[in-house]
Structure 1
Amino acid sequence: MQSTRLPLSDCLDAAVTAAHAAAAILQAYSLDRGKLVVDAKMHNDLVSQADRESEEAVIGILRERTPDFGIVAEESGGSTGGPASWYIDPLDGTTNFIQGIPQYAVSIALVAHAGAIVEGDAPLDRDVPVIGVVYDPNREELFTAMYGVGAWLNEHRISVSGARSLADSVLGTGFPFRDFSFADQYMPTLHRAIKSTLGVRRLGAAALDLAWVACGRYDGYWEMGLAPWDVAAGTLLVREAGGICEDIHHRDPWPISGYIYAGNHHTAPALDAMIQPHMKKD
């Protein structure tokens, strides 16, 4: 099969355009949350028409601009395909949004499939995120990243923090909230982190947690039981900001399973070492 070179600059522009379109819908609904129709997909997993309409806006733009790419979206599903696939979370932090807590974002990532060409002439030998966009409409902070080029917050280049140990670190995390089957693995890690760091924060929007690692607000982050669209964009942000963002199970080339740890070159290995003794082995 012939390899396809991905037009990354055009893809980034499409993702930014789509993120702004989704955010406009979210912010319009945020002004009158009392009219939101909210459904429960499963225990502690909510969806509103704001999620659905913002996702439709994103998909419409991306399908028009990149018709040959696959699309995997939180609310409408979809499938991977072509040389690359979009992973879309139109509202990361739905519960925060519904409650009026201004900590939520639009997250859009492009994952190139093995065989695609993104730099030089050599095709990729594995799937990897190559475009990442996380937009926080409350702070008007646009986080963007492009494979091999770097990461930015609005117009400014960003990098991960310089913390050299967990003892000097503030960490982000997320508690089990929907699937509690891994709670016995997660809770000991939280206990360790509380006792051995400067502090642990749980703000309820994984895409922003990762963006905050990328710009140095958090020194590290870990969570379990997420979905691919929660972490795809943030993974690239952290990596292009000079950090490490990997699968806790050390199986996948990016944390597609939703078991994730991230940080700089000191804190990420320390987080991994903190987590591994508590993970069940296959």
Structure 2
Amino acid sequence: MLNPHLLSADYLDAAVTAAHAAAAILQTHALHRSDLVIDTKQRNDLVSQADREAEAAIIDILQARTPSVGIIAEESGGQAGAQATWCIDPLDGTTNFLSGIPHYAVSIALIGHAGCQPDGRAPLPQDTPLIGVIYDPNREELFSSLYGIGAWLNGRRIQCSTTRTLDDAVLATGFPFRDFSFEPQYMPGFLDAMHQTRGVRRFGSAALDLAWTACGRYDGYWEMGLAPWDVAAGTALVRAAGGVCEDLYHQAPWPRGGYVIAANAHIASALDAMITRHL
């Protein structure tokens, strides 16, 4: 049986401590952006020494505080644990960061694997994000959540919005930027959203798009072509805040394939229908 304390304040505090440590590194580098060494992994997919140093700081803290849990990280890879795995994005919104746009975040999630018992009782029927921590160092906003307990922004409980129709909804999205193979599926849904909602925003950080959906700033969000570390913590947050966050194709137990749709419970079905009918 998985350690029942996985959902305790100790594990959440470990993630929060790691997020703050990574953010301190990012903000130090942000003062000297022109000196950063930047590598290109593939087209429109950049990594800098800031990403790598922030990730190393997160891993050091999590390994020391939670040695029995596996770690998968964007830059260094890693290995999943037998029953639970940390999923880390040290800098979500790298292009914003490198361009001096103050909209990026550190994202850390704990994924419980199918069969584990995070509360000491019922085994999880499928892989499930249990803890979500997203820290925005520019606004000093810390989003956190615990599976089955709730979600918070700087210690105050948050909930998804109460908007009831797409007509009144403000949505977030992310345009294709690296993999353009799904562009023919994406664009018709985007055009529908333009015409059928109050507005669509694109700020360039999937983690913050999900965090802002969890706290009600956005009514819904969708994006394609991401990675699991982009959406793991945000999935935990949205679900803990009473919303819906799923794989666009409704095949995976959470959007680990990077095709994500999230919304408050009132408009989730309508948003899903509007986007998925083009897939």
Please give the TM-score of this superposition, normalised by the length of structure 2.
0.98
Hey, what does 2:58 align to over in structure 1?
A: 58
- Name the residue aligned to 2:160: 160
Q: 1:63-107 deviations in whole A, cap 9, x for unaligned?
A: 111111111100001121222000000000000000000000000
| Deviation larger for 111-120 or 3-12 | 3-12
Structure 1 residues 46-55 or 32-41, which shifts more? 32-41
**Unaligned residue ranges in structure 1 (runs of 5+):** none
The alpha carbon displacement at 1:7 in A equals 2.6
Match of 1:255 in 2: 255
Partner of 2:222: 222
Aligned-pair distance for 1:120? 4.9
Q: Output the CA distance in 2 between the equivalents of 1:261 and 1:121.
A: 30
**Contact 2:2–2:118 (CA under 8 A) maintained in structure 1:** no
Residue 160 of structure 1 aligns to a residue whose secondary structure is coil
Contact preservation (8 Å) 2:132, 2:232? yes
In structure 2, C-alpha distance between the alignment counterparts of 1:3 and 1:122, rounded to whole Å: 11
Across the aligned residues of Structure 1 and Structure 2, the Cα RMSD in angstroms comes to 0.9
Amino acid at match of 2:166: L
Q: Matched residues in 2 for 1:205 and 1:95: separation? A: 9
The runs of at least 4 aligned residues of structure 1 exceeding 6 Å deviation read: none
Alpha carbons of 1:3 and 1:38: their partners in 2 closer, same or farther (altered >3 Å)?
A: closer
- Whether the 8 Å CA contact 1:3–1:123 is kept in 2: the answer is no
3-state SS in 1 of match to 2:52: helix
**8 Å CA contact 1:4, 1:115 repeated in 2:** no
| C-alpha distance in structure 2 between counterparts of 1:19 and 1:128, whole Å | 21
Partner of 1:80: 80
1:142 aligns to what? 142
CA distance in 1, matches of 2:242, 2:263: 9
Aligned residue number for residue 125 of structure 2? 125
Instruction: Find the aligned partners of 1:249 and 1:128 in 2 and give their Cα distance.
Output: 17
Q: Deviations over 1:91-150 (max 9, x none)?
A: 000000000000000000000011211225122121100000000000000000000110
Separation (CA, whole Å) in 1 of partners of 2:168 and 2:120:
39
Name the SS of the counterpart of 2:72 in structure 1. Answer: strand
In 2, distance between residues paired with 1:269 and 1:99? 36
C-alpha distance in structure 1 between counterparts of 2:6 and 2:46, whole Å: 35
Q: Structure 2 matches for 1:236-275, cutoff 5 A?
A: 236-275=236-275
8 Å contact kept, 1:119–1:148: no
Give the count of matched residue pairs: 278
Superposed CA offset, 1:41-78 (max 9, x none): 00000110000000000000001111111111000011
Instruction: String of CA shifts for 1:17-60, please: whole Å, max 9, x gaps.
Output: 00000000000001111111111100000110000000000000
- Separation in structure 2 between the aligned mates of residue 157 and residue 37 of structure 1, nearest angstrom: 39
